[in-house]
Structure 1
Amino acid sequence: MEQVYRYIDENKEMYVQWLQDLCKLPSVSTYDQSMKETAEVVKTYLTQAGVPTEILQMPGQQPVVYGQTSRDKESTISFYNHYDVQPEDPIELWESPPFAAEIREGKLIARGSADNKGALMARICAVHAYQKVYGGLPVNIKFLIEGEEESGGSRHIKHLAATQPELLQADLCIWENGFVNSDGSFEVKLGNKGLLFVKLVAKGANTDLHSSHASIIENPAWRLVWALNTLKNDRDEILIEHFYDKVAQPTEGEKEILERMDLEEEEMLARLGLDRFIRDLRGNELREKLVFQPTCNICGIESGYTGKGSKTVLPSEAWVKIDFRLVPNQVPKEILQHLRNHLDRHGFQDIEIIANEGTQAAKTDPDHPLVKKVMKAATKMKGIPPRVILMNPGSGPMYALCQQLGIPAIGFGVGNPDSRKHAPNENILIKDYLDGIKMAATVIHEWA
């Protein structure tokens, strides 16, 4: 691999420029912003890397960039990534424009740099470098790059998995991202939590009213607060009936991996300006809760007047957005029905639920031989074993694209513990990006 590593180092300015150019495109899927343009740019990079590529488009959905090399090798690796990014708000908290892709003190600062354009470009660059050095690849490569991961629940890509599974079929899928830890080791992820995202809406009068009417007209904001108060207690326990029925406890083998998982608790608290975790949890209890327990989280809540100064108003409507991170065996549509039943039982039949279809949790066996091959590549490249995350606390369409089709999946990436994904000043270290290129190339080489 020394020749490939040398080629990557000699061409690092070009590879960094490719990533900067991609990060300058404001591909915010929530706003349908620059999506088709970004998909075409990704296609151009894949073509430059020697990967025949096409754009797959369904009406009303964001394009999928699909690339596949020759099919004459015995085995196939697929790379799953997404080119869409989160909205950049709040803009005023950014130290530089979110799509300027500035480099400062060895960091590339841009929305999407860590989630997920950095890992996406690292993999494209790895294929480019490997083919420039060796003139070919030892394994068939597929790229599956979508534009709805951050907003649309990956509808297009789930449709492909259901209707054209042969496009996705592979021996192993390299999932979208992961961290490089402070000790230099890679973090590898073997699963994702599932997700159910809902909006609860409480309605009152057909117009906002003067707040003097609060003595006789019910306020939907209070109505919503009372409903929320039934969902969770002050010990962070979710009170929805049957919510935990299918939650499985970790196996003995999984507990052993959890014990080796270094969460860097003190560093995390210091970085976030906190002095404690929920319920003062530490050690194994904290790690088990992070990885194996579901959540009920308020993402945003709004009602009435929230502008500058005062406005004495009784609002006509209140809403809250909630995400449930689910664990294996929990089915989103069943959780949605449990939520509806819970609200009805507590007298909140009037509160409307607007929900997406959700995503099931996914998990890969850490003892799978192909997973071990990736871990061996990470150890060889870094000189230190990777840290294993059994299940990423975040979510994605891994179950639909991988486990449902019998494909093992493992993720690694180019982020860092302070990458600030989904937040202002998202960033990656240039060194980690270049190491991410080398890591992807090393995985490809291990197949030889």
Structure 2
Amino acid sequence: MADSAGLDRVFSYLESRAESFQRDWFDLLRIASISAKPAHRPDVRRAADWTRDRLMRAGIKAEVVETAGHPAVIGEGPQKPGRPTVLHYGHYDVQPEGDLKLWSTGPFEPTVRDGAVFARGAADDKGQMLCAVCAAEAWEKAGGGLPINVKFLLEGEEEIGSPNLAPLVKEHARRLACDYVLIHDTAKYSAEQPAVTTATKGLIYKEIILTGPKKDLHSGSYGGQVPNPATELARLLATFHDDKCRVTIPGFYDDVAPLSADEKAQIARLPHSDAEFQSEVGAAGLWGEAGFSTIERRWARPTFEVNGIYGGYMEAGSSTIVPSRAGAKVSMRLVANQKAEKIARLFEEAVRARCPKTVRLEILDHACCDPYMANLQSAGMKAAIAAVEEGFGRAPVLIREGGTLPILPMFKSVLGADSLMLGYCLPTCNAHSPNEFFHLSDFNAGTRTTAALFGLLAG
């Protein structure tokens, strides 16, 4: 690790500049950089320019880089030959504000209440992104210079699916070359318990469309005589789980990596209440693959879900028909060792084998992404775990994420780099919802954590 006296000076600098960092944070939060809305394109550009300028103030050489959509910002600190290189990925764009009536204060008017900053993007991802910027500045201004090579890739399209990120990374692969990608766009386990995220699930998203008669038909004149695609769709979808809630696609579980005994023991020790979880989601009961706990199902077991069903008459009043067409959108979340292309093929084979010949079948592809699993034994992972304890004063737990981050396998494929996922906000921070927030104490602890990580990676 870089000398402890240097880290002490870095921490002192962070503490002395806390109010200044908060003002910067508020300035960025006031920019309504909503990437999904064309009317806010100038705001997204303004946020990119602001981010570039803030990196340069931190001692990071930075520029705005154009893409086919919204711009990205690439930054690079002073180079230290022979030292490890970390690329911090984040995003300065935000979700739409949603229903303004549900916000206690304006979404782009940052407000402090009960020790937290409330604004759109407070946590996702402007606040967490700035943790890395402030940490780099502290090393440059007070720690004798960054002890490792630090680069930044901050995009403006994450909230619309990062359509231009992969081409950008491929184009600038040499410039972005690194040993680790550092991502703060995750969360702690709970208010009291910091975490390091080690895995995300893969995703397959498909649409099944069944067509029966060439047009909607009178159910009295034709019912019971011609195939009803809505009925056949319901029957088909019902075949994909057995009575133990296991997915019935042949070969679906063949490559699933089981949890180790240590991982199962750690999960069992985590504070969790099924009753509280059930109350939180408002369900009449819980459901899932037999033989596994709720957290094990969320983090380490693959799933099959029906995301939506359509077909026939759905408007007010009645229209008694045999519909011509019915469809469903379905998703599969995959875990370590599963390959999305293989599972997608197995799914299509199962659908075609089970679909009756009395209806015409069409399958549409909407998404296909592999899962990601970090190397738990890497020097970077060990440094990340130690850094969280240094920054938060408590050892982290290792958690997995039930969602999907397509950028992780992309970074691994293009840059050959593993990702370190250190999230500092609460899982209940209302990201994508009204009244998004990020506690000031977690912002400060997160900034210390990132600063400590830079020092620990120096060896």
Task: Name the TM tier (shorter chain).
Answer: 0.7 to 0.9
Q: Structure 1 residue 5 and structure 2 residue 11: aligned?
A: yes
- 1:177 paired with 2:194, answer no
Maintained 8 Å contact 1:363/1:403: no
Q: After superposition, what is the alpha-carbon deviation per residue over 1:157-188, rounded to whole angstroms, capped at 9, x for unaligned?
A: 33345555323322222223333344634211
Where structure 2 has 5 or more consecutive residues not aligned to the other structure, the ranges are 1-6
- The 10-residue stretch of structure 1 (34-43 or 297-306) with the greater mean CA deviation from structure 2: 297-306
Contact 1:416 1:428 in 2 (8 A): yes
Q: Give the alignment partner of residue 374 of structure 1, picking from 361, 384, 389.
A: 384
Aligned-CA RMSD value: 3.6
Q: How many corresponding residue pairs?
A: 443
Counterpart of 1:129 in structure 2 is 138
Q: For 1:110 and 1:214, how far apart are their aligned partners in 2?
A: 56
Q: Is residue 2:51 matched to residue 1:42?
A: yes
1:159 aligns with 2:162: no
| Aligned counterparts of 2:360 and 2:30: Cα–Cα separation in 1 | 44
**2:117 pairs with one of 85, 105, 108:** 108
In structure 1, the residue matched to 2:63 is: 54
Q: Give how far 1:67 is off.
A: 1.3
| Distance apart, 1:240 and its partner CA | 2.5
The equivalent of 2:28 in structure 1 is 22
**Separation in 1 of the partners of 2:333 and 2:212?**
30
- Distance in 2 (CA, whole Å) between partners of 1:408 and 1:99 is 34
Residue 186 of structure 1: which of 189, 194, 197 is its match?
194
CA apart distance, 1:86: 4.2
The question of whether the paired residues in 2 share the 8 Å contact of 1:52 and 1:67 is answered with yes
Match of 2:333 in 1: 325
Is the 8 Å Cα contact of residues 194 and 325 (structure 1) preserved in structure 2?
yes
Q: Relative to structure 1, is the Cα distance of residues 71 and 251 closer, same or farther in structure 2, using a 3 angstrom cutoff?
A: same
Give the secondary structure class of the aligned counterpart of 1:129: helix
Structure 1-normalised TM-score?
0.83
Cα deviation code 1:101-123 (max 9, x no counterpart): 44332233334333323211221
- SS at structure 1 position matched to 2:295: helix
Q: Which amino acid aligns with 2:90?
A: N
Question: What SS class does the counterpart of residue 252 from structure 2 fall into?
Answer: coil
Judge conservation of contact 1:191–1:409 (CA < 8 Å) in 2: no
AA aligned to 2:450 is A
TM-score (norm 2): 0.81
The superposition leaves residues 188-237 of structure 1 with CA deviations (integer Å, 9 ceiling, x where unpaired) of: 11222222233444567888899988848876655544443333356432
CA distance in 2, matches of 1:328, 1:52: 37
Contact 2:246 2:289 in 1 (8 A): no
Query: Does the 8 Å contact 2:56/2:62 carry over to 1?
Result: yes
Which runs of no fewer than 5 residues in structure 1 stay unpaired?
none
Give the drift of 1:41.
Answer: 3.1
1:312 shift after superposition: 4.4
Q: Which amino acid aligns with 1:428?
A: F
Whole-angstrom distance in 1 between the partners of 2:314 and 2:127: 36
Q: Deviations over 1:230-259 (max 9, x none)?
A: 333564322233322221222345445444
Specify the alignment match of 2:86 in structure 1.
77
1:72-126 deviation per Cα after TM superposition (whole angstroms, max 9, x unaligned): 3422112122334445556665445544444332233334333323211221222
Is the 8 Å Cα contact of residues 191 and 410 (structure 1) preserved in structure 2?
no
Q: Residues of 2 paired with 1:31 and 1:291: CA distance? A: 33
Matched residues in 1 for 2:396 and 2:112: separation? 27
Q: 1:380 to 1:344 in 2, by over 3 A?
A: same
1:65 to 67, 73, 77: 73
- Residue 340 of structure 1 and its aligned partner are, at CA, apart by 2.2
User: What SS is found at the alignment partner of 2:124?
Assistant: helix
| Cα 1:218/1:292, change in 2 over 3 Å | same
2:420 equivalent to 1:407: no
